[in-house]
Amino acid sequence: MRINTNLKNLTHKEIRQIVDKTIGICEVMFGVNRRKGFCKAVVKQQRDNDVPKYGEYCPEKHTVFLFKNNCSNVKDVICTTLHEYTHSLQPIKSKYFKLLKTYGYEKHPMEIEANGNEKFYKEVWELIK
Residue 2 lies in a domain: no
Domains contained in the chain, number: 1
**pLDDT value of residue 50:** 78
Range of the domain at 58: 7-128
Query: Has residue 48 got a pLDDT over 80?
Result: no
> What's the predicted TM-score (pTM) here?
0.94
Digit-coded pLDDT (tens) for 62-92: 999 999 999 999 999 999 999 999 999 999 9
Could you tell me which of 70, 18, 8, 22 has the C-alpha nearest to residue 44? 70
Residue 79 lies in a domain: yes
**pLDDT value of residue 49:** 74
User: Tell me, what CATH number does 117's domain have?
Assistant: 3.30.2010
**pLDDT value of residue 47:** 86
Mean pLDDT of the chain: 95
Q: What percent of the chain is modeled with pLDDT above 90?
A: 93
Angle at Cα 101 formed by Cα 91 and Cα 109, nearest 5°? 50
Residue 72 lies in a domain: yes
Residue 1 lies in a domain: no
